Amino acid sequence: MLEQVNKKGNNKENNMFKFSIKAIIVAFVGIVAFGACSKDSNPPPAPPAGDGLTKVDDLVYRYMSQNAVPGTTLAVARNGKLVYTKAYGFADNESGERMAVNTRSRISSISKTVTAIAIMKLVEEGKLELDDKIFGEGGILGNDFGSRRPYRTYVTDLTVKHCLSHHVGGWGNASNDPTMLQSSLDAPQLISYIIDNVSLSKAPGTSYAYSNVGFMILGRVIEKISGKSYEQYVKDEILSPVGITDMEIGGTTLEERKPNESRYHHASAYTGNFSRRDANGGWIATAADLARLFVHIDGSSSVPDILASNTIQTMTTPPYNYRNYGLGIMLNGGTWYHGGSYSGSRSHWLRTGSGFVAAIMVNGNASNLQTLLENIVSASVEWPDQDLFND
């Protein structure tokens, strides 16, 4: 009798255990299904278990969480080879579209490095010199811009080198960036407006002040000398020779969003006039595009550089007393880098003395991408022996 009772009790417990397992499975499936259908409850997937590269993923996911970043793209090159590229999170929070490695984003002021490369290419070809003056009689652009004659004080002293190194003498970003004025004007019209209405406060070459205006002017210098639009010259002479085909100048409004371009998640991301920023901040690209370009100016013998070694040395040597900026490139010892920032997006690239070139872009407002990239390339990771540039 006791044995029968025990058997019945055991059967009952077994049935209850089986029911509990089924209930848990059903609940789990329901949660997964709900997550797959709900944009709001569909966060970027957790880092997968596996090799040491998960350390890199952990760094990125942690950064995204701390900075409320919807999506990120990353590319890491080592000794001229693209060893790692990955996309994280959302390209578009509204639609649920995921980031992909071919998703393009605004690179903003990284465009200054692109422009500097183009200028130095023209210098190498003997078509201009760094100390050439830009405005006034005998200047590259002559009297093409502005209506005030004579020009305001210091305008005719401005040289190519001043613009490349942010030693313009004014027109800086610190208090009131002039490139954000008069959004209905295109770049040439805006330059004329600035020349006529915004004075330079110091002699060019005397002090550093980060200036979008200087690089906007350099875009017009490239057009004048090459006879092409700024965008076309860069595509033909800089990007195409290294195999980059997807970089272009981005649009301003959401309706002008390009194919495979991320959406930018900030209220003012689609205001102003982004496309006229061309030479100082208007390009869109993939992270891999940036890595591909910058391994060709890294001064390493791993892959052929598109500029001569002495030209690259000139670009990475501060021309004036300010020691942290060369010509279109920021400097910190053996690390070369540049960041980019526009409402709803951030970007960054760096080159280290240990053979790394890395680029990262996010479609949200964030900070300290430099630190994140430094942590990534210094992580104790066994990087794959592969070259994704060839895929």
Tokens 């060709």 belong to residue: 296
Q: Can you tell me the distance from the alpha carbon of 383 to that of 307, in angstroms, rounded to the nearest whole number?
A: 28
CB of 294 closer than 8 Å to CB of 351: yes
- For the chain, the domains span 54-390
- The answer to whether residue 3 scores a pLDDT higher than 70 is no
**Residues 358-368: tens digit of each pLDDT:** 999 999 999 99
The answer for residues whose C-beta is within 8 angstroms of residue 18's C-beta and 6 or more apart is: none
Q: Which amino acid is at 243?
A: G
Q: What is the mean pLDDT of residues 228-237?
A: 98
Angle at 204 between CA 310 and CA 211, to 5 degrees: 80
Helix, coil or strand: residue 328: coil
User: What pLDDT was estimated at residue 51?
Assistant: 57
User: What pLDDT was estimated at residue 61?
Assistant: 97
Angle at 122 between CA 119 and CA 128, to 5 degrees: 95
- The answer to whether residue 7 scores a pLDDT higher than 70 is no
Q: pLDDT-based confidence at 33, cuts 50/70/90? A: very low
Q: Could you tell me the pTM of the whole model?
A: 0.87
User: What pLDDT was estimated at residue 40?
Assistant: 38
Burial level of 254, CB count in 10 A (0-12/13-18/19+)?
Answer: exposed
Q: Which amino acid is at 75?
A: A
Rounded to the nearest 5°, which phi and psi values hold at 309? -60, -35
Rounded to the nearest 5°, which phi and psi values hold at 87? -115, 145
Q: Can you tell me the distance from the alpha carbon of 262 to that of 256, in angstroms, rounded to the nearest whole number?
A: 12
**Residues 264-317: tens digit of each pLDDT:** 999 899 999 999 999 999 999 999 999 999 999 999 999 999 999 999 999 999
**Residues 153-164: tens digit of each pLDDT:** 999 999 999 999
CB of 89 closer than 8 Å to CB of 100: no
Which two tokens mark 320? 């004036």
Which of 1-15, 42-56, 114-128, 315-329 is least confident?
Answer: 1-15
Which of 21-35, 59-73, 90-104, 185-199 is least confident?
Answer: 21-35
Q: What is the layout of strands, in order, in the sheet containing 283-285? A: 105-106, 283-285, 248-249
Higher pLDDT, 158 or 52: 158
54-390 maps to which CATH number?
3.40.710.10
**Greatest mean pLDDT among 17-26, 47-56, 156-165:** 156-165
Beta strands in 204-355 (DSSP E): 248-249, 283-285, 330-332, 335-342, 345-351
